[in-house]
């Protein structure tokens, strides 16, 4: 039986989960700390939208928690 994959998140939802702004998420995508792809969402008109991999979001959260722990020392 196949495991369910988490759906990729938009930049806005990623910003909410990381408690940051969408421009910061775009910066993290550009420097490679988040992985994503630019796609046109079905059923939506307009431009393409960045979709962010949930695994990269969890890696970024772990990275931020480690940095915060080191800063407290």
Q: What is the pLDDT of residue 22?
A: 94
Q: What is the pLDDT of residue 7?
A: 86
* Sole residue written with tokens 């408690």: 19
Q: How far apart are CA 71 and CA 45, in angstroms?
A: 44
The ranges of the chain with pLDDT < 70 are: 1-5, 41
| Residue 45, domain member (yes or no) | yes
Question: For the chain, how many structural domains are there in total?
Answer: 1
pTM (2 d.p.): 0.79
**Residue 21 is part of which domain span?**
9-72
| Residue 3, domain member (yes or no) | no
Q: What is the pLDDT of residue 2?
A: 58
């Amino acid at each position: 039986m196949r495991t369910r994959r988490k759906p990729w998140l938009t930049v806005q939802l990623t910003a909410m989960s990381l408690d940051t702004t969408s421009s910061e998420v775009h910066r993290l995508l550009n420097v490679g700390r988040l992985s994503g792809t630019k796609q046109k969402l079905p059923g939506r008109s307009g431009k393409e939208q960045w979709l962010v991999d949930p695994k990269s979001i969890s890696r970024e959260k772990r990275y931020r928690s480690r940095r915060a722990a080191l800063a407290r020392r």
